[in-house]
């Protein structure tokens, strides 16, 4: 049976997704969340003509070189001057203060000579508008400046505050239940037995889920027995997460019981095995309303599949439209021809100011070598049956999160 192409696997995984509902959250709790609706400005910024410098608010018609002006008051940020300067008058002003009505320019203090009797002498003449930030210079009331789907970070939070929002509508976090399987696994921090290894995949996937805006639910480690798996999957149905991720146990070995146990629990299998390396034994199905991703047990295969398949699924749940995340790069080393599977090759990336980035694949690509993945910047994408490629030729890459 022909293996499923990667692009078709992604399409089937995200097909029919309904984005998570919106919920309002306080602005200080919004970092890392996805906006569910666009945000428009509730006020203009600045809301009034404001001084861009420390100096004197003047009428430009009076501010000719050598003119003497009388200082009739002071304006500071948060404490405006309520009067209006007349002919031959000015107001001492500081950065951020409202420019008084009647004034149309700010003479910087370095260009003013202070005279006795609350007077100044103008140095260089200045035109109307000089050193004044016009009302609405940054944005105007009603301007939409943050679009739906935007991830709230430092810049977004600051802008939302300036727009006048104390709370923002964000998507509720997709709930992702994560189950590691295998008698050989122990939790991080525990001492493995002579035939055991540390379960690194689950915590890595949980970190990926959190960074993508989801909520990870740790289901622990299930033993390689039907009863252990049946108990976990019964509990999963009660939890009703958006996604169930299983790690390992989905191949064809005597101890690979995950697919069998999921079917017994009611999973409808959509596909199993895809045309990619690493990650061929990927499984996808539905357990009630929960989408099930069965990732391979090898560490690199598991994490690469999370990037390629779990990532788009989480994005769809968060209301983000699909987009091509690949980009062009230049090979820094020769690569051999490819077979029928699409390869995702771990590589380092060297940015170049004069050209596309240079990508150099690691010589060893064993799917158990997690340290190589941690040192990698990206994955070089080699299509099925790609011919040999020489250093200096173009390629497509996917940057790692």
Q: Report the CATH number at residue 87.
A: 2.170.190.11
Give residue-wise pLDDT tens across range 135-149: 999 999 999 999 999
Indicate whether 141 belongs to any domain: no
CATH of the domain at 350: 2.40.340.10
Question: Are 251 and 225 in a shared domain?
Answer: yes
Phi, psi for 194 (deg, rounded to 5): -60, -25
Q: Which of 133, 159, 191 is the last residue of a domain?
A: 133
SS3 (DSSP) at 265: helix
DSSP state of 12: H
pLDDT given for residue 42 in this prediction: 98
Are the C-beta atoms of residues 398 and 377 closer than 8 Å to each other?
Answer: no
Which tokens hold the place of 95?
């950065």
Q: What is the pLDDT of residues 351-396, one digit of tens each?
A: 988 889 999 999 999 998 999 999 999 999 999 999 999 999 999 9
Residue 15 bridge partners (DSSP): none
Query: What range defines the domain where residue 70 resides?
Result: 50-133
Last residue of a domain, one of 291, 317, 343: 317
Is 1 part of a structural domain of the chain?
A: no
Collapsing DSSP states into helix, strand and coil, what is residue 114?
strand
Residues 197 and 107 in one domain: no
Compute the distance between CA of residue 203 and CA of residue 98 in angstroms, rounded to an integer. 53
Residue 279 gets which letter from DSSP?
A: -
**Tens digits of residue pLDDT in 8-63:** 999 999 999 999 999 999 999 999 999 999 999 999 999 999 999 999 999 999 99
pLDDT in tens, 106-130: 999 999 999 999 999 999 999 999 9
Whether residues 313 and 179 fall in one domain = yes
297's CB contacts (< 8 A; 6+ apart) are 181, 182, 201, 247, 248, 249, 250, 251
Residue 294: pLDDT over 90: yes
How many structural domains compose the chain?
A: 4
Inform me whether the pLDDT recorded for 1 exceeds 80: no
Instruction: Specify whether 123 is located in the same domain as 222.
Output: no
Residue 140 included in any domain: no
Is residue 258 one of the residues assigned to a domain? yes
Whether residues 309 and 367 fall in one domain: no
What is the CB neighbour count within 10 angstroms for residue 213? 21
Q: Which helix (H) or strand (E) holds 209?
A: helix 201-211
- The shares of helix, strand and coil residues in the chain, as percent rounded to the nearest 5, are 20, 35, 45
- 229 and 163 in a single domain? The answer is no
The pTM of the full predicted model, rounded to 2 decimals, is 0.86
Which among 272, 289, 317 is the end of a domain? Answer: 317
């Amino acid at each position: 049976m022909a293996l499923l192409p990667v692009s078709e696997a992604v399409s089937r995984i995200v097909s029919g997704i309904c984005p998570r509902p919106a919920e309002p959250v306080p602005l200080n709790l919004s970092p890392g969340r996805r906006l569910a609706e666009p945000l428009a400005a509730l006020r203009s910024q600045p809301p009034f003509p404001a001084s861009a410098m420390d100096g004197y608010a003047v009428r430009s018609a009076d501010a000719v070189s050598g003119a003497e002006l009388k200082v009739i008051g002071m304006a500071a940020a948060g404490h405006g001057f309520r009067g209006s300067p007349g002919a031959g008058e000015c107001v001492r002003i500081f950065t951020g203060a409202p420019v008084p009505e009647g004034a149309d320019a700010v003479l910087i203090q370095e260009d003013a000579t202070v005279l006795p009797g609350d007077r100044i002498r103008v140095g260089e003449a200045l035109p109307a508008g000089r050193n004044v930030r016009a009302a609405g210079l940054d944005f105007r009331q009603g301007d939409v400046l943050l679009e739906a789907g935007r991830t709230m970070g430092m810049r977004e939070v600051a802008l939302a505050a300036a727009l006048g929002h104390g709370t923002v509508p964000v998507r509720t976090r997709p709930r992702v239940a994560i189950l590691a399987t295998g008698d050989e696994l122990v939790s991080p921090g525990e001492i493995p037995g002579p035939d055991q290894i540390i379960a690194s995949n689950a915590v890595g996937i949980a970190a990926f889920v959190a960074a993508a805006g989801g909520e990870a639910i740790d289901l622990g480690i299930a033993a390689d027995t039907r009863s252990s798996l049946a108990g976990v999957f019964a509990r999963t149905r009660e939890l009703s997460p958006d996604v169930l991720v299983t790690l390992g146990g989905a191949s064809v070995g005597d101890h690979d019981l995950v697919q069998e146990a999921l079917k017994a629990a009611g999973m409808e299998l959509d596909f199993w095995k895809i045309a990619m390396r690493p990650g061929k034994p990927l499984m996808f199905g539905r357990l009630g309303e929960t989408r099930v991703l069965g990732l391979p047990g090898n560490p690199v295969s598991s994490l690469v599949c999370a990037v390629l398949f779990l990532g788009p699924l989480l994005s769809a749940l968060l209301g983000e439209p699909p987009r091509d995340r690949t980009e062009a790069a230049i090979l820094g080393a020769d690569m051999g021809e490819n077979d029928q599977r699409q390869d995702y090759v771990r590589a380092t990336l060297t940015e170049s100011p004069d050209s596309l980035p240079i990508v150099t694949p690691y010589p060893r690509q064993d799917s158990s070598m997690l340290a190589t993945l941690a040192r990698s910047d990206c994955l070089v994408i080699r299509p099925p049956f790609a011919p040999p490629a020489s250093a200096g030729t173009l390629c497509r890459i996917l940057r790692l999160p």
